[in-house]
Structure 1
Amino acid sequence: MIDRSKVTLYSGGLKGAEAEFGANAEAWGIREVNFTFVGHEMDRVKSVKFLTEEELQKGDISMEIVYKRMGRTYTTVEKIRRVMQSIFHMVNNGYQVFAVGWIKDNDTVKGGTGWGVELAKFFNRPVSVYDQDKKQWFSWENNQWVPDTPVVSHDTFAGTGTRYLTDDGRQAIRDLFERSFGAADNPQ
């Protein structure tokens, strides 16, 4: 089991999965950093790192690349661009990536969460997704999703996912922390 005193969670503090990752990090005594930017609404406002314009630009990417990689377009391009830029910082800082949402037929993940997953694939990072419909974790191995029971095994990890977290998704996050770190310091 990894030494939780040396572990940091990188997330975005948004309602749903990201807030739940943060609440679990707090319960297990794990350091957390929540990236945001001016005008971005967060549900969890602990350990917030406001990204400057210069820092946001480090995560900038052509929206055409995003469209191709995700197989879809977005209507609010500038807002989505900022979100994608902040997601870059989560994945760039957290070596291992965990997400909660829905895996689509084209092997991407639904919504903005999918960009974090695609970045993890692109950066060749360990990435696992809890699919709320299938009620199971999957990890990206050999260019395909395979059923898995992942654990946090690196000192840094990113936690992201849907705003529409189900009770099963919430439990999956809690179970991930229990498998990875044992009993919580401050049970919720």
Structure 2
Amino acid sequence: MTKAAEFTYYGGGHRGTEAEFGRQAERFGIREVNFSFAGHQPAREKGVVLLSPEELKKGDISMEIVSLRMNRKYSEMDKIRKVIQSIFHMVNNGLQIFTVGWIQPDDTVKGGTGWAAELGKLFNRPLSVFDQDRNRWYTWKDKGWVEDIPVIAHKTFVGTGTRNLTDAGKQAIKDLFSRSFNA
């Protein structure tokens, strides 16, 4: 039987997906770490680690590279840069990545959440996305998305995604935790 207390969840405390991951982590007695930065007001305040400007720089990458990798341009460069930098810390610490959002035709995930998915691919981490349009989980395998029913199998994991979490997305997160820790 999996002991939930041996696990650590990494997120950013944003409303929507990350707040729901945090609630479920708390429900199951899982340690919660939410990376944040000056000026960010997380919806979830449990386990907040405020990243200094120096720590944020460890996750710095050219926004041109991010834009190319994600096949889109970003506005509000300063704010999105800090989000991208904090996502690096989440993925750098979590060995398994779960996101909730929408898989795009180019196999990226919509929004800033997509950077967590791209880092997961680059770092060769187990990566699963709950697509809110299709109401299904998909796991990245052999350079493509494969329908799957994932479980939290690594003691450090990331949960991130859209701020616009649907009821189906919320249920998918609850079911993920139940599958993983109620066995």
Secondary structure in 1 matching 2:80: helix
Task: Give, as a single letter, the amino acid of the residue that structure 2 aligns with 1:90.
Answer: M
CA contact (8 A) 1:2 1:154 kept: no
2:64 is the alignment partner of 1:60: no
TM-score norm. by structure 1 comes to 0.96
RMSD of aligned residue pairs (Cα, Å): 0.8
> Matches of 1:100 and 1:33 in 2, distance apart?
18
> Matches of 2:10 and 2:46 in 1, distance apart?
12
Task: Give, as a single letter, the amino acid of the residue that structure 1 aligns with 2:116.
Answer: G
Identical pairs, percent:
62
For 1:1-188, what aligned pairs fall within 5 Å after superposition?
Answer: 1-182=1-182
> Matches of 1:181 and 1:72 in 2, distance apart?
37
Secondary structure in 1 matching 2:43: coil
Task: Give, as a single letter, the amino acid of the residue that structure 2 aligns with 1:177.
Answer: F
> Matches of 1:154 and 1:3 in 2, distance apart?
12
1:5 deviation in Å? Answer: 1.6
1:2 deviation in Å? Answer: 2.8
Aligned length: 183
TM-score norm. by structure 2 comes to 0.98
CA contact (8 A) 1:7 1:31 kept: yes
Task: Give, as a single letter, the amino acid of the residue that structure 2 aligns with 1:122.
Answer: L
Secondary structure in 2 matching 1:110: coil
Runs of 4+ in 1 over 2 A off after TM superposition: none
Q: Which runs of 5+ in 1 are unaligned?
A: 184-188
